[in-house]
Amino acid sequence: MNYQKKIPHTNLTRFKSTYNLNRRGVISYLSAAATITGLSSFFSLPTLAEINNSLDHISKPRIIGKTNASIHITEYYSMTCSHCRDFHNKTFPDVKTKLIDPGKIKFELSPFPLDGLALRAHALARALPENKYFGMVTLLMSKQDEWKSAKDPLQSLYRYAQLAGISANEFNGLMQNRPLLEKIVEIRQKSSVKWQISATPSFVINNKKVISGNLSFNEFIAELAEYGI
C-alpha cells in the first residue's frame, strides 16, 4: 500500500536537527503545534499497544539481559544519531547474541536526544510496554534514514507507531505530552552531568568506565577485557 497517498500533510511545525535541547529550549519548542491531523479517518486498526504516559513508566530503566549478569552496560544514545544507528545495526546484533544472551552482560538503553525529532522518537519507544521497547528501537534504527530524512518526519514516524498498534489520537497525545518529553530531557541532562557525556553513543560500564563512539564488536569487547570478557 502506498501510504504516502493515504496520509494527508500535517500541521507540524518543523524543527531543525541542530535544535538545542536544554530545558528552556524544549519548553519553547513544545509551545509550537505538533499534531498529526486527519489520520484516524484512514486508519482504523485495533489498538495493540498499551500506551503508558506515566512519568514512572517513562523513567524506568530499559534493560535487556539476565538480571544476575556481573557486567552492566548503559548506552546513552540518540534516535537520530547516525553513529548510534550504525552501532545498533552493525555491532549490537553481535553484542546481543554473544554477550547478552549468554548472560555475560546486561545492557541498558538510556535516552540522550540530540534534537527535537530524536526526543519524539524516544517518547514513542518509551511509552510502549517494556516488552515492546527494544523492538521499536531496533525498528527505528534500522529505518532511521527513511523517517529522519522524510519531508514530514513526524508523519513518517507515525507510520512506525502504527505497527505497534498506536492510534492517531494516542500518537498525537504522545507528541504533545510536555511532562513526558521534559522527563526525557531531564534524563539526558542528569546523565550528561553525572558522566560528562558529550557524544553519542556513549557507554558506561558498571558505573565506572565511560567509552564513546561507534565501536565495532571487536573494539567493544576489547573495552571489556578488564572485566573478564
Q: What does the pLDDT look like over 135-152, one tens digit per residue?
A: 999 999 999 999 999 999
Phi, psi of 203 (to 5 degrees): -130, 135
Please give the Cα distance from 19 to 39 (Å, whole number): 27
Please, which pLDDT band fits residue 198 given cuts at 50, 70 and 90? confident
Q: What is the pLDDT of residue 48?
A: 59
Mean pLDDT score, 64-71: 96
Kindly tell me if the per-residue pLDDT of 18 is higher than 50.
Answer: no
Query: What pLDDT score does 15 carry?
Result: 34
Q: What angle do CA 13, 20, 178 make, to 5 degrees?
A: 60
Which of the two residues, 9 and 24, has the higher pLDDT score? 24
More confident: 15 or 23: 23
What is the rounded CA–CA span in Å between residue 168 and residue 156? 12
Res 13 pLDDT > 80: no
Grid cell for residue 220: 567493544
Distance (Å, whole) CA 85 – CA 98? 20
| Domains in the chain: ranges and CATH | 51-227 (3.40.30.10)
Which triple of cell numbers denotes residue 53?
504516559
Is 30 buried (19+), middle (13-18) or exposed (0-12) by CB count in 10 A?
middle
